[in-house]
Amino acid sequence: MNTSAAIEVRGLSKKYGNKVAVNSIDLTVERGEIFALLGPNGAGKTTTVEILEGYRVANSGQVRVLGFDPATKGGPAQKWRNQIGIVLQSTNDAADLSVLETISHFAHYYEKPRDVKQVIKEVGLEEKVSANVRELSGGQRRRLDVALGIIGSPELLFLDEPTTGFDPEARRSFWELIRTLKSEGTTILLTTHYLDEAQALADRVGVINEGVIIEIATPDTLGGRNNAPAKVTWLENGVTQELLTKNPTEEVLKLSQRFNNQIPELQVLRPNLEEIYLRMIGELK
Amino acid sequence: MNTLKETLRIGVLRSFLEIKQFMRQRESVVFTLFFPVILLFIFGTVFKDTIAPGVTFSQYFVAGMIASGLVNTGFQQLAITIPMQRDDGTLKRLRGTPMSVSSYFIGKALLVTILMIVQTILLLFFGSVVFDLNLPTDPMLWWNFTWLVILGTACSTVLGIAFSVVPKSGRGASAVVSPIVIILQFFSGVFFVFTSLPVWMQQFAALFPLKWLTQGMRSVFLPEDFATQEVGGDWELGKTALILVIWLVLGLILSIKTFKWSRQ
């Protein structure tokens, strides 16, 4: 196995009773990359991630996270947790503590904690340092979750649906934070429902459905997106015309000649990630 | 050695955090910390008679209340708040950090100890000021008091952690745990004079630690010759210690073997 990768998974399977949640998946996440795991609810995303985080134990397969088997118990596992950060799906804990109290406390758990004030600044909670956690909005609460995930300066950060319930502005500034972490060398495994999020952040995307990984690719090439026919539309005789083509540049040049360099309401549309994704998971149903 | 020190350090830090959280929840302060004092006030006001020469009901009741305070702050409080922490994600989040399980348990044990000390001081203070409670003067009795509190707290803490797997959810925990505690209090002679209870109740209560703690506390707060009025005609302190230790070991094994970090 390639133990220099941040995450290395071979033939991972997990069953709950008779139900197969994850069926023999392979996955490699290189150090320093942002990898997004996409899939509908119940596809096996959370099961996979929770196995990588050490919360669940696989039925079969090999798993190495930073060169370590997350199913290990006891002292070595504790040490390993110094190198990872986990942002779980929605939690409601620590309601009676302030933001500062919570983050400072968690900093004590780690060997090499980041500076508490600096982390608070990075996640944009400076104005809420002394607010009780229960007073935070959904987005602020999520920022606190991220702060607790990165306080131990992890090499690898797990983000499980981090921006669910965010307004567009909060999402954009959250993305900036994730990019900053990446630029500092943090490897990030992200699960998300939002295709634009995967497109904006991920170096590579893995689509999982019914416990199987369908494809792993860059956001631009997923599902043959780069080679898929583009749609060229324009206005002619008061009617919108449309044309599917593998070579939109050529078509646009032809049109340009026909319209004397002024094509009315010209648009060239490549299939977006969402269309590709929906087609991918739809095909299997 | 270094890890042991670290585990203790984090355990102490966790207890500070737990105390902060506890004190900020008004209902937990009232129902856990002040409840025994409120009960003492009610019972002491209603029942003014004496049980034996020189023994008022409030004197008898204080002994019982200190013993059941151990059950309230330890067993009851933990068996309710741990399922709540399991539901709200506290435990799952902690599981994902390098914090050791022992630190979490140490934090809980220290929280219970501190609550117990505060509660006992409150009871003794109100008892002596409002109801003329006689505090023991013999150092031997204070020594018995001390080991009873320590052993009782330890026992109550591990049993609370062990029992925390029983409630299905945090919301329902109180409904599962509180009746058990109240029934045990009735059966163990906290609210009534133990020997006036039906024999089957006495025998049932004798299986559990509270009855023995209550009796042990009476040995501290009631006159020496009251011992003849106990079921065994004696305070039975040796037997009490033995039964508490058995429950302590049982609770310790159960809590290590069965503790759950998430509901799943």
Q: What is the pLDDT of residue A15?
A: 93
| Contacts with B127 (C-beta within 8 Å, 6 or more apart), sequence order | B40, B44, B58, B62, B133
SS (H, E, C) A150-180: HCCCCCEEEEECCCCCCCHHHHHHHHHHHHH
* Token couple for A247: 């070579």
**pLDDT-derived band at B209, boundaries 50, 70, 90:** very high
Phi, psi of B161, rounded to the nearest 5 degrees: -65, -45
A16 and chain B in contact, CB less than 8 A: no
Fold of the domain built from segment(s) A7-223: Rossmann fold (3.40.50)
Cα B72 from Cα B160, distance rounded (Å): 10
Neighbours of A226 (CB within 10 A): 12
Which single residue is written with the structure tokens 């079969």?
A60
Partner-chain contact B96 A82, CB within 8 Å: no
Mean pLDDT score, B194-220:
90
Phi and psi based region of residue B89 (left: phi greater than 0; alpha: psi -120 to 50; beta: remaining): left
A95 and chain B in contact, CB less than 8 A: yes
Mean pLDDT score, B80-92:
90
Q: What is the pLDDT of residue A119?
A: 92
B chain contacts of residue A96, beta-carbon cutoff 8 Å: 20-21, 24-25
CB A160 within 8 A of CB A16: no
The domain spans of chain A are 7-223, 229-269
Which single residue is written with the structure tokens 């059941």?
B68
Q: Which residue has better confidence, B202 or A193?
A: B202
The domain spans of chain B are 2-258
3-state secondary structure of A36: strand
The C-alpha of A150 sits at a distance from chain B's nearest C-alpha, in angstroms, of 11
Neighbours of B200 (CB within 10 A): 9
Partner-chain contact B93 A96, CB within 8 Å: no
Q: What is the pLDDT of residue B1?
A: 47
Mean pLDDT score, B31-39:
84
Q: What is the pLDDT of residue B154?
A: 94
Helix, strand, coil percent values for chain B (each to nearest 5)? 80, 0, 20
Cα B163 from Cα B77, distance rounded (Å): 11
DSSP per position, B104-151:
HHHHHHHHHHHHHHHHHHHHHHHHHHHH-PPPP--HHHHHHHHHHHHH
* Token couple for B104: 């979490």
Mutation site for A-interface testing, chosen from B5, B17, B169 by largest number of A Cβ within 10 Å: B17
Partner-chain contact A109 B97, CB within 8 Å: yes
Closest CA to A32 of A174, A189, A143, A161: A189
Q: Which residue has better confidence, B114 or B1?
A: B114
The C-alpha of A239 sits at a distance from chain B's nearest C-alpha, in angstroms, of 57
Q: Which residue has better confidence, B57 or B13?
A: B13
Mean pLDDT score, B49-78:
86
- Residue B148 clears pLDDT 80, i.e. is over it: yes
A chain contacts of residue B96, beta-carbon cutoff 8 Å: 53-55, 81, 84, 86, 88
Closest CA to B155 of B103, B211, B90: B211
Neighbours of B120 (CB within 10 A): 19
* Token couple for A176: 């900036």
Q: What is the mean pLDDT of each run of 10 residues along chain A (285 residues)?
A: 82 92 94 93 90 94 94 87 90 84 95 94 90 88 91 94 80 88 94 87 93 91 82 90 88 90 89 81 60
A chain contacts of residue B100, beta-carbon cutoff 8 Å: 78
How many angstroms separate the Cα of A185 from the Cα of each of A33, A142, A146, A182, A255?
8, 22, 16, 5, 47
Partner-chain contact B92 A106, CB within 8 Å: no
Cα A54 from Cα A65, distance rounded (Å): 9
End-to-end CA distance of chain B: 35
* Dihedral sign for Cα atoms in the order B67, B73, B74, B78: positive
Q: What is the pLDDT of residue A26?
A: 95
- Residue B228 clears pLDDT 90, i.e. is over it: no
**pLDDT-derived band at B264, boundaries 50, 70, 90:** low
Phi, psi of A203, rounded to the nearest 5 degrees: -75, -40
Cα B183 from Cα B50, distance rounded (Å): 25
Q: What is the pLDDT of residue B263?
A: 74
A34 and chain B in contact, CB less than 8 A: no
Q: What is the pLDDT of residue B224?
A: 82
How many angstroms separate the Cα of A88 from the Cα of each of A79, A109, A155?
20, 18, 17
A73 and chain B in contact, CB less than 8 A: no
Cα A154 from Cα A136, distance rounded (Å): 25
Mutation site for A-interface testing, chosen from B26, B93, B101 by largest number of A Cβ within 10 Å: B93
- Which residues are A236's β-sheet partners? A239
Residue A75 CA to its chain's centroid (Å): 30
